Amino acid sequence: MLTPTEPRVTLLILGLVPLPLLVYGGGASWQWGWLGALAWAVSLVVKIPVTGSVYALSASMPGLPRAALSGLISSLSELGVAALLFDLRPLPSPALPNVLAFGAGAGCLETLFVFAAMFFESPPADQVARWLDGARSSFCVRHVQTIERVTAFGGHVGARGLISLSIYGGSPAIAVVAIVSFAVTDGLAAYGSLRDWDWFKPATCRRFHGACIAISTMELALFAILSASML
């Protein structure tokens, strides 16, 4: 059974370990990790008010296009800022570790943001009850926060890696793949919220996070394949 401390310990490890591992074990530069974290922070400042305004203006729209629009705004905000920073910087050397550090910087900062938020938010009693009910029979529900954060971290690295290949390799098609895949992930989450999905229902948990894992894995795999010849 998931203990109250398990997600906090996992988030702390995921937030603090990957970037130093790339720097001290992979030859990456701290600077590229900080740039990735900065890009994520700037994108958050941009997309929160923009998404809020769009949600207010699109209140009469059906759920699916509204969720798709939300996902696209999130994708363009995060990957647009990343693309701008890549475009302003020459290709780092060594290229692959530093591009990975850029994505890890974003993933680490978001993870630490979520970790810190846990100390200021108390989930409603009914939410805790639904989680306990689902956690008794479902591995996905039992470890949902760990699954979500690891998947999101992989998405940060994979999507930003693809954006770097698009900028440094001059291939807009790769950027389109990254933007669309990122938008689908965030759009699916937005659609679930609009439809009031029960995230702690085992079947819902498996399907949603299974789809997110598939997209994140695709992004990472495509980056790994293309980076071998483009970085």
DSSP E strand boundaries for 70-122 = none
Asked if the model's pLDDT at residue 230 lies above 60, the reply is: yes
Give residue for tokens 């992930």: 185
Backbone φ, ψ for residue 137 (5° rounding):
-120, -5
pLDDT of res. 75:
97
Nearest-angstrom CA–CA distance, 158 and 164: 10
Nearest-angstrom CA–CA distance, 114 and 39: 17
Nearest-angstrom CA–CA distance, 111 and 95: 24
Q: Is the residue at 176 inside a domain?
A: yes
Nearest-angstrom CA–CA distance, 175 and 87: 13
pLDDT of res. 6:
63
Nearest-angstrom CA–CA distance, 134 and 118: 20
Show the domain range for 50. 6-230
Q: Is the residue at 1 inside a domain?
A: no
Q: Which of 74, 56, 60 is nearest to 190 (CA)?
A: 74
Nearest-angstrom CA–CA distance, 184 and 214: 11
pLDDT, tens digit (0-9, with 9 covering 90-100), for 126-151: 888 999 999 999 999 999 999 999 99
Asked if the model's pLDDT at residue 102 lies above 80, the reply is: yes
Asked if the model's pLDDT at residue 2 lies above 50, the reply is: no
Looking at the chain, list the stretches that DSSP marks H as alpha helix, in order from N- to C-terminal side: 6-16, 18-26, 30-57, 63-88, 95-117, 125-135, 139-142, 144-169, 172-194, 202-230
Domains held by the chain: number = 1
Would you state the structure tokens that stand for residue 203, as one six-digit string? 């079947």
Q: Which whole number is the average pLDDT over 201-222?
A: 98
pLDDT band of 4, cuts 50, 70, 90: very low
Residue 93 one-letter amino acid? S
Nearest-angstrom CA–CA distance, 134 and 167: 44
Mean of per-residue pLDDT scores for the chain: 93
Nearest-angstrom CA–CA distance, 219 and 178: 7
